[in-house]
Chain A
Amino acid sequence: MDLECSRLLPALCAVLVDPRQPVADDTCLEKLLDWFKTVTEGESSLLLLQEHPCLVELLSHVLKLQDLSPGVLSFSLRVAGIFAAQENCFQYLQVGSLLFSQPGGAPGLRLLSAPPFFLSSPAPCPGAVDTIFSLQGDSSLFVASAASQLLVHILALSMRGGAKEQPCLQGDDWPTCAQKIMGHVEESLCSTVTPKVTQALNILTTTFGRCQSPWTEALWVRLSASVACLLERDPIPAAHSLVDLLLCVARSPVFGSSNGSLWEMVAQALSCLGPAHVGPLALGILKLEHCPQALRTQAFQVLLQPLACVLKATVQAPGPLGLLDGMADDAMMVDALLASKSSCAGLLCRTLAHLEELQPLPQRPSPWPQAPLLGAAVTVLRLCDGSATPVSSVGGHLCATLAGCVRVQRAALDFLGMLSQGTSPQELVTQALAVLLECLKSPGSSPTVLKKAFQATLRWLLSSPKTSSCSDLGPHIPQFLRELFLVLQKRLCSPCWEVRDSALEFLTQLSRHWGGEADFRCALLASEVPELAWQLLQDPESYVRASAVTATGQLSSWGLHDPTSPQHAVARQSLLRELLRILSADSEGFPRRAVMQVFTEWLRDGHADVTRDTEQFVATVLQVASRDLDWEVRVQGLELALVFLGQTLGPPHTHCPYAVALPEAAPARPLTEALRALCHVGLFDFAFRALFDCDRPVAQKSCDLLLFLRDKIASYNSLREASPNTDSVEAAPWRWRAHEQTQPQEDQEPEAVLAMLRSLDLEGLQSTLAESSDHVEKSPQSLLQDMLATGGFLQGDEADCY
Chain B
Amino acid sequence: MPEIRVTPLGAGQDVGRSCILVSIAGKNVMLDCGMHMGFNDDRRFPDFSYITQNGRLTDFLDCVIISHFHLDHCGALPYFSEMVGYDGPIYMTHPTQAICPILLEDYRKIAVDKKGEANFFTSQMIKDCMKKVVAVHLHQTVQVDDELEIKAYYAGHVLGAAMFQIKVGSESVVYTGDYNMTPDRHLGAAWIDKCRPNLLITESTYATTIRDSKRCRERDFLKKVHETVERGGKVLIPVFALGRAQELCILLETFWERMNLKVPIYFSTGLTEKANHYYKLFIPWTNQKIRKTFVQRNMFEFKHIKAFDRAFADNPGPMVVFATPGMLHAGQSLQIFRKWAGNEKNMVIMPGYCVQGTVGHKILSGQRKLEMEGRQVLEVKMQVEYMSFSAHADAKGIMQLVGQAEPESVLLVHGEAKKMEFLKQKIEQELRRQLAWAACTETPQHPCRHLAGAAEAGDGLLPEAKKPRLLHGTLIMKDSNFRLVSSEQALKELGLAEHQLRFTCRVHLHDTRKEQETALRVYSHLKSILKDHCVQHLPDGSVTVESILIQAAAPSEDPGTKVLLVSWTYQDEELGSFLTSLLKKGLPQALS
Contact = CB atoms under 8 A, between A and B. Distances in A.
To the question of whether A and B form a pair in one complex, the answer is yes
Interface of A: 24-28, 30-31, 106, 139-142, 240, 280, 340-342, 346, 349-350, 353, 407, 410-411, 447-448, 451, 498, 501-502, 543, 587-590, 593, 629-632, 694-697, 738-740, 742, 768, 770-778, 782-783, 785-787, 789-790, 793-794, 796-802
B357 A777 contact: yes
Contact of B114 (A30, A773, A786, A802): A773
Ranked 4 nearest A-B pairs via Cβ = A27-B38, A800-B353, A141-B444, A789-B365
Contact of B444 (A140, A629, A793): A140
Contacts of A786: 356-357, 361-362, 365, 367
B71 interface: yes
B574 interface: no
A798 B14 contact: yes
B373 A768 contact: yes
Interface in B303-362: 310-311, 313-314, 326-327, 329-332, 334-335, 352-359, 361-362
B55 A587 contact: no
A769 to B, nearest CB: 9
Interface in B26-76: 36-40, 43, 50, 54-56, 58-59, 70-73
Contacts of B127: 501, 543, 590
A777 B355 CA distance: 11
A25 B356 contact: yes
Contacts of A140: 442-444
Given A25-B356, A794-B365, A776 B386 contact: no
B114 to A, nearest CB: 4
B165 to A, nearest CB: 20
Contact of A776 (B40, B310, B371): B371
A280 B55 contact: yes
Contacts of A631: 109
A796 B205 CA distance: 8
Nearest to A546: B127
Instruction: Among B131, B270, B372, find the residue whose CB has the most chain A CB atoms closer than 10 A.
Output: B131
A790 B15 contact: no
B547 interface: no
A734 to B, nearest CB: 12
Contacts of A30: 39, 43
Contact of A778 (B14, B87, B147, B357): B357
Contacts of B386: 794
Contacts of A410: 87
Contacts of A630: 270
Contact of A587 (B13, B209, B273, B329): B273
5 contacts: A342-B145, A776-B373, A786-B365, A798-B353, A798-B355
B502 interface: no
B364 A25 contact: no
A778 B390 CA distance: 26
B481 interface: no
Nearest to B364: A794
| Tier of interface size on chain B | 35 or more
A773 B445 contact: no
B15 A793 contact: no
B115 A407 contact: no
A773 B414 contact: no
A768 B270 contact: no
Contact of B392 (A106, A349, A776, A799): A799
A697 B355 CA distance: 23
A772 B116 contact: yes
Main secondary structure of the interface of B (DSSP, over half): loop
B390 A802 contact: yes
Given A26-B13, A543-B101, A801-B326, 6 more contacts: A353-B56, A773-B115, A789-B366, A793-B366, A801-B352, A801-B354
Interface string B141-161: 000011100000000000000
Contacts of B335: 694
Contacts of B311: 739-740, 742
B123 A793 contact: no
A800 to B, nearest CB: 4
Contact of A141 (B50, B115, B353, B357): B50
B404 interface: no
B287 interface: no
A588 B366 CA distance: 38
A696 B329 CA distance: 12
Contacts of B70: 802
Given A346-B59, A629-B269, A799 B362 contact: no
Contacts of A411: 58
A789 B367 contact: yes
Interface in B227-246: none
Contacts of B19: none
A660 to B, nearest CB: 34
Contacts of A742: 311
A739 B131 contact: no
Contacts, number: 204
A789 B56 contact: no
Instruction: Among B72, B88, B361, find the residue whose CB has the most chain A CB atoms closer than 10 A.
Output: B361
A27 B55 CA distance: 31
Interface string B100-121: 0100010001001111100000
Nearest to A783: B356
B155 to A, nearest CB: 14
B588 interface: no
A798 B123 contact: no
Contacts of A783: 356-357
Contacts of B361: 24, 777, 786
Nearest to B445: A141
A341 B143 CA distance: 14
B506 interface: no
A796 B313 CA distance: 34
A799 B55 contact: no
A739 B332 CA distance: 13
Contact of B39 (A27, A785, A800): A27
A349 B59 contact: yes
A630 B273 CA distance: 13
B277 interface: yes
A670 B581 CA distance: 112
B131 A501 contact: yes
B131 A695 contact: no
Contacts of B15: 798-799, 801-802
B59 A353 contact: yes
A739 B14 CA distance: 42
Given A27-B38, A742-B311, A800 B50 contact: no
A793 B366 CA distance: 9
A571 B105 CA distance: 34
B36 to A, nearest CB: 7
B374 interface: yes
Interface in B247-295: 269-270, 273-274, 277
A629 B7 contact: no
Nearest to A27: B38
Contacts of A451: 131
Contacts of A141: 7, 50, 443-445
Given A141-B444, A794-B386, A341 B146 contact: yes
Given A139-B443, A141-B7, A802-B390, A773 B329 contact: yes
B89 interface: yes
A349 B109 CA distance: 37
A512 B88 CA distance: 29
B261 to A, nearest CB: 26
Given A240-B54, A350-B55, A502-B131, A789 B362 contact: yes
Contact of B112 (A350, A587, A697): A697
A696 B114 CA distance: 9
A772 B330 CA distance: 10
A796 B105 CA distance: 28
A777 B359 contact: yes
A24 B353 CA distance: 11
Contact of A24 (B36, B113, B116, B356): B356
Contacts of B16: 798, 801-802
